[in-house]
Chain A
Amino acid sequence: MNDDIREKLSAYLDGALSDLERKTLEGELSRSEEMRLELEALRAVSAAVKGLPKEPLPVGFAARLDARRAREGAPEREYFILPPAYRPLAFALSTAVVALVVWDRTVTKPDVMAPRAGWDSEVVSVKSAADAPPSIDVTGAVSAENAGQPQELAAKKEEAAMPSTLGKQLSAPGKPLEIAEDRAPSAPAAAPSRLIPDGALSKEQSDVLDNLPDATGAGGGAMIARNEEERSAINERLYKGFEEEKKRMGIAKIMERDEESDKLSTGGREFMALQASPEAARVDGGRASIGSVRGAARSKAGAPAVPAVKALTLKSPEALAAAWAGAGLAGDPPAVNFPEQMAVFLAGPEGCGIVSVRSRKNTLLVLYKSEGFDEPAARVRAVALSSKPVLLKLAE
């Protein structure tokens, strides 16, 4: 007997068959003992379940129901349930907050009040004015070694016919201006602002120095605090002012000085500024300090000695005038359209002069002759402003 017949027997038991199905099944039942036994078995199961007694309601059911309804009818505490779409965002935010708190509690913060050595020092403890560092960063651009120079230089201020205020007071004839970068204080000195004579700096520089924290504050315990941002701002302003000052003085370039060999080099932190000064315009001593020495003729081994000739690139009328006067030339130098142009000045023996100036890819080639020029104006050529190195070449 298959399940279809047995299912029909179950439905027959419930009176759920159609008349046709019922009659068909009854015919089969009359012919099949097996089907009759199966029907009786299903009827017995049904009767057994139907025989389960119905129980009365438990005593107190209604009272307990009322009590529960009263309990559950009380206003429920309302919770805000975040919509599912926002749950990932809420999870991410809460995770970020937890991560931030953990980071904040675990990462050690640097003690901003702890002084650190060298360039990283952000706070310098100043016990008294004498302890004030001569230079803290570029703002204190005068080194301890130069602390005594201003007074010495001031005495020569009258003698120096410098076109530049800074050049007048800070330069010494034949001695390059030394500008020290930021360095750790090495010797007691006056406060930075006292190291520089009045008027020696541009207004921009003076303003910066004036706005520095007072290192000689009352109580002798003032703190000069600089954070990186302040230092950057100060450096930027000073750099801008310094560049303007260089331009005004006609300084073409500040070259690094090698202390040991006393030659220009690329090492070290001290610089030698080549600046215009009549006294410094001596080129025969081999220590040119006027304008920018961009090139010098050299004698090859075994070749006939070539008179010392040097080419200076000058970018201001004052520098040109100083070089002109320094070379002992009479009259006025030729006109140069500063600052769009610069002057190439040939410093050398009497009669020397420039044949031509050619701008090459990487150099400014100056062809010259060491003699044969009667006009001093031959020493000067106005050329387009350029930063290319000068190559001096004796014209044949």
Chain B
Amino acid sequence: MPESQFLEEHSQLVFNVALRLTGNRSDAEDLAQDALIRALRALPKFRGDSKLSTWVYTITVNTWKNRVRAEKSRGFWKTISFGAFGNKEDDEPVYEPKGDDAPLDSELEKEGTNAVVQKALLQLDADDRAIVVLREIEDRSYAEIGEVLGLAEGTVKSRLFRARAKLKILLDKAPA
């Protein structure tokens, strides 16, 4: 497949997933570009063992998870280095949006509900967030989600249930 065609067909998909995983447009664009570049490099090696979309989702989610791990590592050293001098409350969670632009709740989601949902989504751990995004937003099957994340279908089913339950709690706690 030509690179231009691949980008045309998958850029939007990758950006949407990245937007919901990261929570802001700036980080989403950076993540999407990173994932697409990796996908383009690996594209000649794609053998068609799975759906191309599944393969692209896998690259996107893995790229994002790598970033999360790197952020956690930097956050650890940041805590070690400045923890004694800084205010602990200033240490933002490593998976929180880092972009300079305003969060979705003010720039994109004009309705309060969407902002609350996005905020609750960001409070899920990486795998759970990926499962919810792939299931609810990308409408992927349990089998495909399991393939992307390397999990069994049963695991996907139970983790999706727990993620929904946690989201329900978070949304119930959110101010109306």
> Which residue of B15, B36, B135, B137 contacts A52 across the interface (Cβ within 8 Å)?
B137
A65, B7: Cβ atoms closer than 8 Å: yes
A79 lies within 8 A of chain B by Cβ: no
Q: Which residue of chain A lies nearest to B16 when distances are taken between CB atoms in the complex?
A: A54
Q: A49-B117, A53-B114 are in contact. Are A6 and B157 (CB under 8 A)?
A: no
Q: A11-B157, A16-B157, A57-B15 are in contact. Are A50 and B37 (CB under 8 A)?
A: no
B7, A53: Cβ atoms closer than 8 Å: no
A146 lies within 8 A of chain B by Cβ: no
B130 lies within 8 A of chain A by Cβ: no
Q: Which residues of A contact B15 (CB under 8 A)?
A: 55, 57-58, 61
A1-21 CB contacts (< 8 Å) to partner B: 3, 6-7, 10-11, 14, 16
Q: Which residues of B contact A7 (CB under 8 A)?
A: 157-158, 161
A198 lies within 8 A of chain B by Cβ: no
A319-339 CB contacts (< 8 Å) to partner B: none
> Which residue of B12, B113, B114, B161 contacts A10 across the interface (Cβ within 8 Å)?
B161
Q: A41-B168, A55-B25, A64-B29 are in contact. Are A10 and B36 (CB under 8 A)?
A: no
Q: Which residue of chain A lies nearest to B15 when distances are taken between CB atoms in the complex?
A: A57
Per-position binary interface string of chain A over residues 42-79, scored 1 when its CB falls under 8 Å from any chain B CB and 0 otherwise: 10111011111111111001101100110010000000
B61 lies within 8 A of chain A by Cβ: no
Count of chain A residues near B, Cβ 8 A: 30
Q: Which residues of A contact B148 (CB under 8 A)?
A: none
A16, B136: Cβ atoms closer than 8 Å: no
A68, B37: Cβ atoms closer than 8 Å: yes
Q: Which residues of B contact A52 (CB under 8 A)?
A: 20, 109, 114, 117-118, 121, 137
Q: Which residues of A contact B56 (CB under 8 A)?
A: none
A10, B160: Cβ atoms closer than 8 Å: yes
A53 CA / B117 CA spacing, docked (Å): 11
Q: How far is the CB of B136 from chain A (nearest CB, A)?
A: 4
Per-position binary interface string of chain B over residues 88-121, scored 1 when its CB falls under 8 Å from any chain A CB and 0 otherwise: 0000000000000000000011000110011001
Per-position binary interface string of chain B over residues 132-155, scored 1 when its CB falls under 8 Å from any chain A CB and 0 otherwise: 110111000110000000000000
A195-225 CB contacts (< 8 Å) to partner B: none
Q: Which residues of A contact B25 (CB under 8 A)?
A: 55, 58
Q: Which residues of A contact B43 (CB under 8 A)?
A: none
Interface centre among A10, A41, A44, A52 (most CB of B within 10 A): A52
Q: Which residue of chain A lies nearest to B168 when distances are taken between CB atoms in the complex?
A: A45
Per-position binary interface string of chain B over residues 152-176, scored 1 when its CB falls under 8 Å from any chain A CB and 0 otherwise: 0000011011001101100100000
B19 lies within 8 A of chain A by Cβ: yes
Q: Which residues of B contact A58 (CB under 8 A)?
A: 15, 25, 29
Q: Which residue of chain B lies nearest to A13 when distances are taken between CB atoms in the complex?
A: B164
B11 lies within 8 A of chain A by Cβ: yes
A48, B29: Cβ atoms closer than 8 Å: no
Q: Which residues of A contact B158 (CB under 8 A)?
A: 7
Q: Which residues of A contact B121 (CB under 8 A)?
A: 49, 52
Q: Which residues of B contact A42 (CB under 8 A)?
A: 164-165, 168
A54 CA / B167 CA spacing, docked (Å): 20
B36, A46: Cβ atoms closer than 8 Å: no
A45, B167: Cβ atoms closer than 8 Å: yes
Q: Which residue of chain B lies nearest to A69 when distances are taken between CB atoms in the complex?
A: B37
A45, B171: Cβ atoms closer than 8 Å: yes
B164, A48: Cβ atoms closer than 8 Å: no
B68 lies within 8 A of chain A by Cβ: no
Q: Which residues of B contact A68 (CB under 8 A)?
A: 33, 37
Interface centre among A6, A7, A49, A64 (most CB of B within 10 A): A49
A207 CA / B137 CA spacing, docked (Å): 103
B126 lies within 8 A of chain A by Cβ: no
Q: Which residues of B contact A65 (CB under 8 A)?
A: 7, 11, 33, 36-37
Per-position binary interface string of chain A over residues 181-207, scored 1 when its CB falls under 8 Å from any chain B CB and 0 otherwise: 000000000000000000000000000
Further 10 A-B residue pairs, CB within 8 A, beyond A61-B32, A69-B40: A7-B157, A10-B157, A45-B168, A45-B171, A46-B164, A52-B114, A52-B118, A54-B16, A58-B25, A58-B29
Please provide the 8 A-B residue pairs with the shortest distance between their CB atoms, ordered closest to farther: A10-B161, A49-B136, A7-B161, A48-B117, A45-B168, A45-B167, A50-B136, A65-B33
Tell me the B residues contacting A by CB distance below 8 Å: 7, 11-12, 15-16, 19-20, 25, 28-29, 32-33, 36-37, 40, 108-109, 113-114, 117-118, 121, 132-133, 135-137, 141-142, 157-158, 160-161, 164-165, 167-168, 171
15 contacts between A and B (CB under 8 A): A7-B157, A14-B160, A16-B141, A42-B164, A44-B168, A45-B164, A49-B133, A50-B137, A52-B114, A55-B25, A55-B108, A61-B29, A61-B32, A62-B7, A65-B33
